[in-house]
Amino acid sequence: MADHALTHDEVVAPHGVHEHPFYQKHHFETAEQQREAAGFGMWLFLLTEIMFFGGLFMAYLLYRNWYYDAFVSGSNTLSLSLGLINTIVLIGSSLTMAMAVWAAEVRKQGALVMYLVATIVLGCVFLGIKTVEYKEKFELHHVPGASFDISEFVHPTDKAEKPLPVDMANKTQIYFSLYFAMTGVHAFHMIIGLGMLIYFVIKARQGLYTTGYVQPIENFGLYWHFVDIVWIFLFPLLYLINRH
Amino acid sequence: MGISPVLWQFLTKWLTSSALWPREASTVAGQTDALYIFLWLMTIVGMALVLALLVVFSVKYRKEKHPNAIQIEGSTLLEATWTIIPLGIFLFVFVWGAWLYFRIYNPPADSMNIYIVGKQWMWKAEHPGGQHEINALHVPMGRNVQLTMISQDVFHSYSIPEFRVKREVIPGRYSTVWFNATAAGTYHLFCTQYCGTLHSGMVGDVVVMTPSDYQAWVDSSTSGMSLAQNGERLFASMGCSQCHTGDAAARGPNLAGIYGAKLKMDDGSTQLVTDGFLRDAILNPSAHLPAGFKPIMPTYQGQISEEGMIDLVEYIKGLKTNYRVQQTLGTSQSNQAAPSASGTVIP
Amino acid sequence: MSDYKVSTKHDPHTPDKHDPANVTNPEHAEHHIVGPATYLGIFAILMVGTILTVVASRLPLGIFTAPVALAIAVTKAVFVVLFFMHVKYSTRLVKLTVAAGFFTFSILVIMSMSDYISRAWGQW
Amino acid sequence: MSTANTIVNLPDQRTAKLPKVNYINKEHGLLSWLLTADHKRIAMLYLFSITGFFLLGGFFAGMVRFELLTPAGDLMAADTYNKMFTMHGIVMIFLFLVPSVPATLGNFLIPIMIGAKDLAFPRINLLSWYLYLGGGFFTLASLVLGGVDTGWTFTTPLSTHYLNTHVITTATAIFIAGFSSIFTGLNFIVTIHRMRAPGMTWFRLPLFVWSNYAASIMMVLGTPVLAIAIVLVALERTVGIGVFDPAKGGDPLLFQHLFWFYSHPAVYIMILPGFGVISEVISTFSRKRVFGYTAVAFSSVAIALFGFFVWAHHMFIMGVSNYSALVFSLLTMLVAVPSAIKIFNWAFTLQKGSITFETPMIYVFGFIGLFTIGGLTGVFLGSLGMDIHLTETYFIVAHFHFVMVGGMLMAFLAGIHFWWPKMTGRMYPEGMSKFAAVTTFIGFILTFFPQFIVGYLGMPRRYHAYPAEYQVLNVLSTAGATVLGVGYMLPLLYLGWSLKYGAIAGNNPWQATGLEWQIQSPPLTENFIEIPIVEQEAYDYEWLAHKTEKEVTTVG
């Protein structure tokens, strides 16, 4: 189906002009006003999210400049293939989410449920892979804190890796702090998102969102895509600092 | 109920000694006070203007006298006036303040240097001659004194109100401030950055002495070893002298005369060797690698106290020749110990 | 009063259009449905970007490594924002909001870094 | 009251009654309040809760002042004192000043002023209040568990490594209260953009709406940075991640950057809504449109914009780069200008007006006087060289109390007195309230003016014990605080009294022009019977006179 613009009336006001769609809250004048308010509100919320992650990115930028070698070595211990798979999975989940919004807009209940479930599955795959990665870090003692161990960076098992002097190797802890803080906050957002997705699936099966009431799905889509964008930056910044 | 005699005593003391500002005891104090007075004049004039407007309008246009308001949209001319005039004054204050700031935070080249170490909750002062003081600072009158300060734990702030001088003492980094005391006497020393339970106990006295009194104090309070001498011992005992021999083939760079030089670094940049650079290079050597050397120096993070670090820095600052380094090395190689007598020899 | 529903300002012939002055919603944009074809196209672009960024990280780009990686990431993000998040079809207000977010973030970064970068200038 | 010197116009008290149906009595029971989505009820919930926290914060302030009566630290132990001023700061800033005007007056009035039935997201508004309570709960929890002594600034590495008090509990409180503030701001912005009545263009908005809009932008953009900084502090404390720990290569100044990136704009979040109140009140009681409406509106937005560029002026002596300090100082001077513009615009609003001196107006005069001093002493601190001597002393304490208490609290009280008749439908005793306003003003000057002097003399802030020569000024300050305390308790008493015994106010006791004065007091649940169509500018007294005349003829 090609892109096309539906006028609002076709979608939400099929019965007579004085009827308000059931989902319109009565403090809004029109359903359209409500929809735009909700969308704008969601964007403002994403604005706060930008600044929330912004503080972490600021810290990352500073320490990456200061301790570049430690960041490179730290980054090279991450699994490129797992990171790449996760990137593809997450962008894929963004695609299915976008398709879910489309399905809701053209009122295809079956497709909507299918795409939402697909998004959940992909989200779970992402978190699963993330768990595997985290587990490996725990086993290697690369988790910041008392048990943090720098021996891997001073005497790398992989001969291709450049050994770090001890003072620089100590700074890998900052890299891993930021790695865990950034991916952790990101994963936390995904867990919240998955919880909401499950709710949406239940409601979508009851046909709530295929009657013109697209706005919750659309807003959630914005949130999910935002989480995707954060990952689009995290992937090169954390995994690909200098791989050659 | 009358005023209690104690209170009365304080009142007279306050009014007679330091009614509105503390004593001016440094060369910048007068300059700071001049700006302060200017700023209060600005405030008073501004305030008077606003008050006058409020009072005149309130009297003239109160409802009894002026029952019907006349609507006025605004006046671009007036509004431009009270945008531009304050802006001009504020910019003038900015320039004045910036000038003063750079003056207070730029020590003159000929300053004598005293090291300050802050910790919860005391001030340690280390004079180059090895005099140590706790919660006190003795300085000579009429000389430029630079303080190189560092904190062992949290942020502190070294404040001498009578000098109008203050600077934060930062963990992990040297900060500096300087002054030139103009009047002998004892002045307050405060920690002004909140630093935990006994923050208000982190106070002391700054004693300004005439040059002759100061000399007498210096002579009477020496601990026998200067900072540089302590540094020299550390330099040997930490094994620094093994690599920094000064030889052309040495594994570490030659440190003699390095202080104040522009050093060519491994990454192609050029860095000025300062106190802070020396400290960082000892703690994070691989990030301060001079061109032509390998990153083999171990880090001394956590192995040297801030006082020890000051000793080392002071030693390297004064190092003009490697003669004694090599001598010490020769002795320690034969003895496997640093000569304990080295402190008695004045370099 | 809670059952009050129909506003008097409604012109019955244009139920979802606002009053002639159109002040409640001056930046109204027609709602636009983006279809699967576009989404798939964007997905393909994002995949290409992902591959590119991995390839770029393995090339000896020297000081350009980070700018290239960021440029690719920004490009990908722009595609997501414009199409997946429908900003291309949104009101000026939403576009402004997105811009404001990145503007404020850049203030945080630029002004903070101005401190870190200029600390080494002069030595005192 | 003679009509010569007042504009108060109350209905005939023999026949007047509160409207039969209004937002207060539409539903009954505790649950109808706790689960309400009505912005006016939520505003009242906020009003009660912030009053509670104000009293708590005031109690801590009182304890601090009593300790400082004598130079020796004899009333309480040093760490108790440190906990007192920490709690004073945290409670007053995060639980009183930030939500004060926006969450109470803003919540109540913004929808009505723009002609909407409610805020855009009523349930998120209720959520904000619960988050606020959550923040308050954790603050109280940290207090009950034994307190926290970081100071409200959470300076690292003190807060992360060197204190053994309930830092994380308090951090949680601030994190949660921060989200309350974000959601309030978000709600306001969407409401102001999307819910305006037909004809209510941007330049017909009351200035109160403009200033709350500007403050909301700062809440939405600034607060998350504080949130992440606080999260990192908590992680540093629990795990030791090292980003703020110099021993691990972190930079403690990074925390300062992140913290002040929010906390400087927070100063404007606190004061801007107060500016809005002043504009409304001064216009009403001089029967005149605010002088230079556009300049006042844009100066709010300019403050919101430039407010983000100046945060490092809190760090001039903390070891930021001198060049960077230069830039931040210059920008600080620029951000002072919009405030100066506002002061003069307000003063000139009086010109050729027809001025009366009801209680809100007395508070406004107090505000202008105190805020002018507070603002100009800010220039002292923005000036680099002067800042060296003044910062971290009582001078800075006096400065921000002049702005926050002399400015914001005066504005808050002006607003409460101005809109009390609208919120409750009843008037408060005029003589008593004027007395309270004057008492507050005198008490304030007595409390905080000596602190400028003692600060310049060198007395550091947050000192539990101090050298004896500072005592006289501290005694003056403590004496003033007692007067100030009385000044704050009085409104609590007579406003409470007025709830039952106050005169019936009628729709528009002040004959003000805002949309909120054209509806019944207290208003209906959805504010308007008919959504108004706005054809008049803000502060159009001729329109009001014309409208009143028409109503009289219609009724007559």
pLDDT tens-digit profile of D296-314? Answer: 999 999 999 999 999 999 9
* Smallest CA–CA distance from B287 into chain A, residue: A168
C99 and C65 inside one domain: no
Q: How far is CA B143 from CA A221, B130, B179, B181, B215, in A?
A: 69, 19, 8, 7, 13
Which ranges in B106-226 belong to alpha helices (H)? 211-220
Q: What is the β-pairing status of strands B156-160 and B144-151? A: unpaired
Q: Is residue C12 part of a domain?
A: no
Under 8 Å between Cβ of D168 and D176? no
| First and final C-alpha spacing in chain A | 44
A153–B contact, CB cutoff 8 A: no
> B204-209 and B185-191: which strand pairing?
antiparallel
Single-letter code of the amino acid located at D453: I
Chain A hits for D231, Cβ within 8 Å: 181, 185
Domain that holds residue C41: 34-85
Lowest mean pLDDT among A57-66, B317-326, C86-95, D146-155: B317-326
The Cα D427–Cα D419 span in angstroms is 10
Structure tokens at D272: 């801007």
Contact B285 A167 (CB under 8 A): yes
B260-269, B315-324, D86-95 — which one is most confidently predicted on average? D86-95
Nearest-angstrom CA–CA distance, D6 and B152: 65
Structure tokens, A70: 């430690």
If contacts are CB pairs under 8 Å, which of residues 18-57 in chain C contact chain B? Answer: none
Q: What is the pLDDT of residues D200-242, one digit of tens each?
A: 999 999 999 999 999 999 999 999 999 999 999 999 999 989 8
Q: What is the ipTM of this complex?
A: 0.90
Task: Identify the three-state secondary structure at position C76.
Answer: helix
CA distance A72 to chain B (A): 14
Per the structure, the count of domains in chain A is 1
Which has the closest alpha carbon to B169: B299, B285, B306?
A: B306
- Are D437 and D413 in contact by the 8 Å Cβ rule? The answer is yes
Does D243 contact A37 at a Cβ distance shorter than 8 Å?
no
A-facing residues of C in 32-61 (CB < 8 A) are 32-40, 42-43, 46-47, 50, 53-54, 56-60
pLDDT for residue A242:
85
Cβ partners under 8 Å of residue D431, min gap 6: none
Is C1 near chain A, with CB under 8 Å?
no
- Position D272 scores a pLDDT of 95
From chain C, pick out residues whose CB is under 8 angstroms from the CB of B106.
124
Identify whether C39 is part of a domain. yes
- Does residue C75 sit in the same domain as residue C112? no
Domain count, chain C: 2
Is the CB of residue D202 less than 8 Å from the CB of residue D114? no
- Contacts of B among chains (3+ CB pairs under 8 A): A, C, D
Do the Cβ atoms of C113 and A62 come within 8 Å?
Answer: yes
| Record: contact C116-D321, CB cut-off 8 A | yes
- DSSP secondary structure string for all residues of B20-38: SS----BHHHHHHHHHHHH
Higher-scoring residue by pLDDT: B110, B339? B110
Shortest Cα–Cα distance, C61 to chain B (Å): 16
Residues forming beta bridges with residue D355, ordered by sequence position: B62
Strands B185-191 and B165-169: unpaired
| Residue A225 located in a structural domain | yes
Residues D406-459: tens digit of each pLDDT: 999 999 999 999 999 999 999 999 999 999 999 999 999 999 999 999 999 999
- B300, two tokens: 């001394």
| CA gyration radius, chain C | 23
Higher pLDDT, D478 or C15: D478
B chain contacts of residue A162, beta-carbon cutoff 8 Å = none
Whether A146 is covered by a domain: the verdict is: yes
Strand B156-160, strand B165-169: pairing: antiparallel
C24: chain D residues, CB-CB within 8 Å = 194-198
C-beta of residue D381 within 8 angstroms of C-beta of residue D452? no
- For A66, the closest chain D residue by CA position comes to D249
User: Distance from CA of residue D73 to its chain's centroid?
Assistant: 32
Q: Which of A26, A27, A167 to mutate to test the interface with D (most CBs of D within 10 A)?
A: A27
What pLDDT, in 10s, does the model give residues A193-238?
999 999 999 999 999 998 888 999 999 999 999 999 999 999 999 9
Q: Measuring CA to CA, which residue among D283, D300, D410, D407 is closest to residue D350? A: D283
* Closest chain C residue to D326, measured at CA: C115
**Helix axis angle, A215-234 relative to C65-79, nearest 10°?**
170
How close A9 gets to chain D, by Cα (Å)?
19
Write the pLDDT tens digit of every residue in C18-50: 443 344 444 455 677 888 999 999 999 999 999
Q: Is residue A200 part of a domain?
A: yes
**DSSP H/E element including A199:** helix A172-205
CA distance B292 to chain D (A): 25
pLDDT at C30: 61
- Residue D394 has a pLDDT of 96
Q: Are B313 and B306 in contact (CB under 8 A)?
A: no
Closest listed residue to residue A126, CA positions, set A239, A227, A241, A236: A227
Binary contact (B299, A69; C-beta < 8 A): no
Extract the tokens encoding B324: 């004694």
pLDDT for B321 equals 81
Average pLDDT (B164-192) is: 94
pLDDT for residue A63 is more than 50: yes
Q: Measured between alpha carbons, how far is B135 from C48 in angstroms, rounded to an integer?
A: 65
Q: B22 vs chain D: nearest CA distance in angstroms? A: 5
Q: Compute how many other C-beta atoms are within 10 angstroms of the C-beta atom of residue D71.
A: 16
B12 contact partners, CB below 8 Å, separation of at least 6: none
What residues contact residue B132 under an 8 Å CB cut-off, 6+ apart? B124, B125, B126, B223
Facing B171 at nearest CB: one of D73, D246, D383: D246
Nearest to A99 among C36, C60, C66 (CB): C36
The B residues from 301 to 330 touching D (CB cutoff 8 Å) are 301-302
C123 lies within 8 A of chain B by CB: yes
pLDDT digits (tens, 9 = 90+) for D243-299: 999 888 899 999 999 999 999 999 999 999 999 999 999 999 999 999 999 999 999
Is the pLDDT at B160 greater than 70? The verdict is: yes
Confidence check: pLDDT of D469 > 90: no
State residue B337's pLDDT score: 41
Cα–Cα distance between D365 and D454 in angstroms, integer? 26
- Label residue C119 by pLDDT band (50, 70, 90): confident
The CATH number of whichever domain residue A153 belongs to comes to 1.20.120.80
d(CA D449, CA D445): 5
A154 contact B CB<8A: no
What torsion, rounded to 10 degrees, do the Cα atoms B3, B5, B11, B17 define?
170
- Annotate D264-299 with DSSP letters as a single string: HHHHHHHHHHHHHHHHHHHHHHHTSPPTTHHHHHHH
C80 & C99 share domain: no
Residue B54 has a pLDDT of 96
Report chain C residues whose CB lies below 8 A from the CB of D311. Answer: 111
- Quote the tokens at residue A98: 């976008």
Q: Encode pLDDT of B18-76 as tens digits.
A: 578 888 999 999 999 999 999 999 999 999 999 999 999 999 999 999 988 898 888 89
What percent of chain A has a predicted confidence (pLDDT) above 90?
A: 68
Q: Topology of domain B227-344, per CATH?
A: Cytochrome Bc1 Complex; Chain D, domain 2 (1.10.760)
pLDDT score for A244: 73
d(CA D243, CA D253): 10
Tell me: the pLDDT tens digits for B214-239? 999 999 987 778 899 999 999 989 88
Write out chain D residues lying below 8 Å of C93, CB-based. 193
Min mean pLDDT across B145-154, C59-68, D312-321, D386-395 is at C59-68
Identify the pLDDT of residue B25.
Answer: 93
Chain A: list its partners (3+ Cβ pairs within 8 Å).
B, C, D
Interface of D with C (CB under 8 A): 21, 193-201, 221, 225, 253-254, 257, 261, 308-309, 311-312, 320-324, 327-328, 524-526, 529-531, 533
Asked whether residue D44 carries a pLDDT value surpassing 80, the answer given is yes
Does A135 reside within a domain?
Answer: yes
- Check residue C5 and give its pLDDT: 35
Give the torsion sign (CA, A93, A97, A102, A106).
positive
Taking an 8 Å cut-off on Cβ atoms, the answer to whether C116 and D524 are in contact is: no
DSSP SS3 for B88: helix
Task: Check CB contact under 8 Å for D249 and A170.
Answer: yes
Put simply, the answer to whether C109 touches A233 (Cβ < 8 Å) is no
Q: Residue B322 above 90 pLDDT?
A: no
Q: Find how far residue B192's CA is from the centre of its chain.
A: 13
Q: Which CATH number fits domain B21-64+73-222: 2.60.40.420, 3.30.40.10, 2.40.50.140, 3.40.190.10?
A: 2.60.40.420
> Is the pLDDT reported for residue D386 higher than 60?
yes
Cross-chain CB nearest to C107 (options D194, D308, D321): D308
On chain D, the residues whose CB falls within 8 A of the CB of B9 are: none
Predicted confidence (pLDDT) at residue A169 exceeds the cutoff of 80: yes
Cα(first)–Cα(last) distance of chain D, in Å?
Answer: 25
CB pairs under 8 A between A and D: 117
The 10 Å CB-count burial string (b at 16+, else e) for D15-32 is eeebbeebbbebeeeeee
- Which pLDDT score is estimated for C16? 39
What gap in Å lies between CA D323 and CA C32, rounded to an integer?
A: 49
CA distance B144 to D553: 84
Chain D residues with CB under 8 Å of C117 CB are: 321
CATH superfamily of this structure's domain D30-555: Cytochrome c oxidase-like, subunit I domain (1.20.210.10)
B105 touches chain D (CB under 8 A): yes
Provide the pLDDT for residue C20: 37
What pLDDT shows up at residue A10?
40
Q: Counting every residue, how long is chain C?
A: 124
CB contact under 8 A, D196 and C24: yes
Domain boundaries defined on chain D: 30-555
Extract the tokens encoding A83. 């990171």
Q: How far is C70 from chain D (nearest CA, A)?
A: 22
Asked if the Cβ–Cβ distance from D194 to C100 is below 8 Å, we say no
Distance (Å, whole) CA D88 – CA D481: 14
